[in-house]
Structure 1
Amino acid sequence: MTVALTFHGGAGTVTGSKYLVETADSRVLVDCGLFQGLTALRRRNWAPLAPALAELDAVVITHAHLDHCGYLPVLVRAGWHGPVYATPGTAELVPIVLEDSAHLMTEDAAHANKYGWSKHHPALPLYDAADAKKAIGLLRKLDFETETEIAAGVTLDFGRAGHILGSSWAHLRSNARDVVFSGDLGRPGHSLLRPPSPRPPCDALVMESTYGARLHHDEGAMDRFGEVIRRTARRGGSVLIPAFAVDRTEVVLAALAKLRSSHAIPDLPVYVDSPMALAALKVYRDALRSKWPEIRPEAAGHDPLTPRSLTELRTVEESMRVNAPRMPSIIISASGMATGGRVLHHLEHMLPDHRHTVLIVGYAAAGTRARQLASGARQIKIHGRYVTVRADVVQLDAFSAHADADELVAWATAGPQPGSTYLVHGEPDAAEVVAERLRNEYDWQAVVPHEHERVLI
């Protein structure tokens, strides 16, 4: 009997990951992410639910980033009622992510209605806190390397992906067919997490390609990070770091703690300004203290995430006070791609001032403000108004939690050759680069699928 695979998201784009596995008896969706970035992509979140997604037997979440779990409340709003399988770490983080997402959507809609910058009257959130709460109630924890039947004739087991805490690759087996979904793969040199574990043999491999056309340049990255901070402080400015609330904030804090302990940077105030990031930081600290198996042994048992002069900003009033810092400071605020959240208010105040620096430390999808800034934009639109960019903008991709082109290929080819490999979760050029390498260097059948394409395994 055949197994069918349909790409409902994450095909030809970095966001909206949704991969449907169908057998004669079951339908399982691997990842359930929001589309982000370009307006045309974000509009897909509002499209009517695909009929096949209304009749799922289970959802599998590889990790807790919005582009992999943020669509779950939409399923719930449409009447779906679970279950959702995730690793213990992912099950701890998904509630934080979904609650924050619902809050921001509701807040943005209210702001748009108050100031009239939306085309929609009234502007409405895609989902609200009640939808998020229902989705969170569907989560079921599944340990790594524990094979479990999750639907009629379909088993699942997770392996470490090393991307963020709890991140996994997912191995689905049905009708003597094996499919492995990489999720987002981390890097062997992650400062806190162990590297991705090897994948099992499979008939089909569905692999991300976010950095498929790029290599990370780690040499001297900490020196460059330190120099950006020193240079900005010398001119009386502050460093604003838009950072993903889950994992990137932790990695940046660990780097700052190392730089400060070696006296490579001055003892500046460090602010973490994101309720979501602070909630995730607590989960990471618990994992480090409890020595979770995915934590690197050298990082376990202590707290490497607290540089001197760290202040955690929890209220809106505290956040507003650092919009115009009285002295050189370091502000870490979500979201990482500057698509929403408190970082937008900091950008509004800091971008017009040449003394400040905006430091981009992660992947920035097309159509996001972070991509515009990294590409040299001299003005960007925030809350319906254009803001002039006079601040220095620096990009350091060494802090990325995504495997680069060589690391992706190395992970894939360390296991037996699959029958077919599908390159997803990447912009078209990046996905095609990895596909060509696998075809030309390893004689693999490697394909970049189209949105809604259906293939048989």
Structure 2
Amino acid sequence: MKIKFIGGSGTVTGSKTLIESKGVRILVDCGLFQGLKALREINWEPLPILPSTIDYVLLTHGHLDHCGWLPRLVAQGFAGKIYCTSPTKAVAQLVLLDSAKIQEEEADKANKEQYSKYEKAEPLYTVVQAENVLPFFKVIQPNLSIVVANDITAVFSIAGHIIGACSITLSLEGKTLIFSGDIGRDDDVLMFPPTKPLIADYIFLESTYGNRLHPDLDVKKELESYINSTIEQNGTVIIPGFAVERAQSIMYLLWKLKTEGRIPNIPYILDTPMGASVLDVFLENMQWHKLSANDCHEMFKMFRIVSEFDQTMRIIEDPQPKVIIAASGMVTGGRVLSYFEKYIGIKKTTVIIVGYQAEGTRGRKLLDGADEIKIYGKYYPVKAKITQIEGLSAHGDQEDLVNWLSALKNNPKCIYLVHGENLPAEELRIKIKDKYGFKCTVPFMGSEIEI
């Protein structure tokens, strides 16, 4: 059996792991690279194998860095099945269509304003190409063993993180391989704790926060403080939000603060068309999260949900204090860029970063203290207050990741640390080795192993 690390090694984006066994090829996740230009450019390159030779894709969840390359895969010949849970299918459809729409819009804008270095800017894929992916999805139930092919079986187990997210246990050639996907937190606001593996020969574990512990702080109190201090100055609060799950977590916390009378009665805006649709996914999949139907409805009523861009422009020009949640979470695209064009240069603006910021993204640059950021070919001075609430991350921290391994009844032959930058992965490797004595390694992107 061969395992090839096509993406998501040494980086938190572009997750793709290929398994070859007795003539069957399975791709676990098919993510888009984000952040550093050198990584983004890989999105335009062909896979090291022909997509038409891949038989199955197993999707851990619907975030762009795990499903965002599927339109390219299908356009280049993939004709197999894409296995995932029902919420993951719904989220992935929204994410892919939104991604395609943004890419088409940004290519058009680059061509009109002539800031592309290419003669003609092209989207990585179109809305039509994203739509072409949808017939390939095949929904499976969690915790049930399914026959993928021949003697290969798979079980999807709840991973927390976002709605529908799962780890995947593959049984083949008498061996058990577990692909963690992204592991959520044991004490997440909305999601249930991740299921711990019991038996595994080989584990492919994410390491996003492999070198960090989430601070033990009251995130509601932090939100309350930032919002009240900004509104007192007649400023605007902008929260770049991942449209799936983080946006809903922030909405929930803001709703609780408002019902407790701890934040003022001002406009609270969710400006992400996809985020609005994800609210429907929550209502249609109540068993996948902690909220009641009544909580969902009451929470939604607090927010003005924006879908059309002309509404966005009216909100931007409205001088009254407000709180805005807008995608994308790493400030790589989407509506949040339009808000930044207006507000990032205003001192009384507060930007609250709430999720992981990959290397090379605007979000990471802001956290690193950038004096200016580039948006649509122009530079804007950063005068807004940039803050971070680490306790709102959807990823488990080092302690959560190490604890996820605590129920194992055997010693795995090897744990491969993926989906993390090199330093966090290396520190997690040492931590796991010191605690359990398990063999751990950090594979290079493009490397291949034989089992």
Find out whether 1:452 has 2:440 as its counterpart.
no
C-alpha contact (below 8 Å) 1:5/1:20 kept by paired residues: yes
User: How far does residue 153 in structure 1 lie from its aligned partner after superposition?
Assistant: 2.6
Question: What is the DSSP-based 3-state SS (H/G/I as helix, E as strand, rest coil) of the residue aligned with 1:452?
Answer: coil
SS in 1 for 2:40: helix
- Determine if the alignment matches structure 1 residue 234 to structure 2 residue 226: no
CA distance in structure 1 between the partners assigned to 2:29 and 2:46 by the alignment: 18
Equivalent residue, structure 2, for 1:303: 295
Structure 1, unmatched stretches of 5+, are none
Instruction: Specify the alignment match of 1:57 in structure 2.
Output: 55
Q: How many Å separate the matches in 2 of 1:224 and 1:98?
A: 33
- Give the aligned residue type for 1:214: R
Deviations 1:246-300 (A, max 9, x none): 001100000000111111111121011111111112211332xxx31x323xx23
Q: Following the alignment from structure 1 to structure 2, what is the Cα–Cα distance between the partners of residues 152 and 18?
A: 22
Residue in structure 2 matched with residue 7 of structure 1 by the alignment = 5
Which whole-Å CA distance do the structure 1 matches of 2:292 and 2:150 have between them?
39
Whether the 8 Å CA contact 1:324–1:350 is kept in 2: the answer is no
Aligned 1:438-449 pairs, distance under 5 A: 438-449=432-443
Structure 2: which amino acid aligns with 1:72? L
Which residue does 2:169 correspond to in 1?
171
Say whether 1:381 aligns with 2:374: yes
Give the 3 Å change call, closer, same or farther, for CA 422–358 of structure 1 in structure 2. same
User: What is residue 185 of structure 1 aligned with on the other side?
Assistant: 183
Paired residue type of 2:273: P
Distance 1:213 1:383 in 2: 34
Q: What is the TM-score of this pair, normalised by structure 2?
A: 0.97
Other-structure match for 2:113: 115
1:78 deviates by 0.4
**Distance verdict in 2 for CA 1:267–1:308, change over 3 Å:** farther
Match of residue 323 from structure 2: 330
What SS does the aligned partner of 2:186 have?
coil
Match of 2:351 in 1: 358
| TM-aligned CA deviation for residue 307 of structure 1 | 6.2
Residue deviations 1:50-102 (CA, integer Å, cap 9, x gap): 22544111000000000000000001110111210001110111110110011
Over residues 149-187 of structure 1, what are the superposed CA-to-partner deviations in whole Å (9 max), with x where a residue is unaligned?
112332111000001000000011111011000000001
How far did 1:134 drift?
A: 1.2
Q: Is the 8 A contact 1:163 1:184 kept in 2?
A: yes
- Tell me the CA shift for residue 442 of structure 1: 1.6
Structure 1 runs (4+) greater than 4 angstroms displaced? none
Question: In the TM superposition, what whole-angstrom CA distance separates every residue of 1:335-393 from its partner, at most 9, and x where no partner exists?
Answer: 00000011101011001111111110100001001111111111000000100011111
1:47-196 matches, cutoff 5 A: 47-51=45-49, 53-196=51-194
> Secondary structure, in 3 states, of the residue corresponding to 1:106?
helix
Q: Name the CA distance, whole Å, in 1 between partners of 2:302 and 2:153.
A: 48
- Letter of the 2:428 counterpart: V
Normalising to structure 1: TM-score of the pair?
0.96
- Number of matched residues? 449
Aligned-residue Cα RMSD (Å) equals 1.2
| Aligned match of 1:401 | 394
For the 8 Å contact 2:196–2:406, the answer to whether it is kept is: no
Q: Deviations over 1:188-209 (max 9, x none)?
A: 1111221101213111000000
What is the alpha-carbon distance in structure 2 between the residues aligned to residue 275 and residue 307 of structure 1?
A: 14
SS at match of 1:140: strand
Q: Which deviates more, 247-256 or 44-53?
A: 44-53
CA distance in 1 between partners of 2:375 and 2:217 (Å)? 35
Question: What's the CA shift for 1:309?
Answer: 4.2
SS at match of 1:322: helix
What SS is found at the alignment partner of 2:443? coil
Choose 412-421 or 382-391, whichever is displaced more. 412-421
Q: Are the counterparts in 1 of residues 51 and 76 from structure 2 also a CA contact under 8 Å? A: no
Judge conservation of contact 2:418–2:425 (CA < 8 Å) in 1: yes
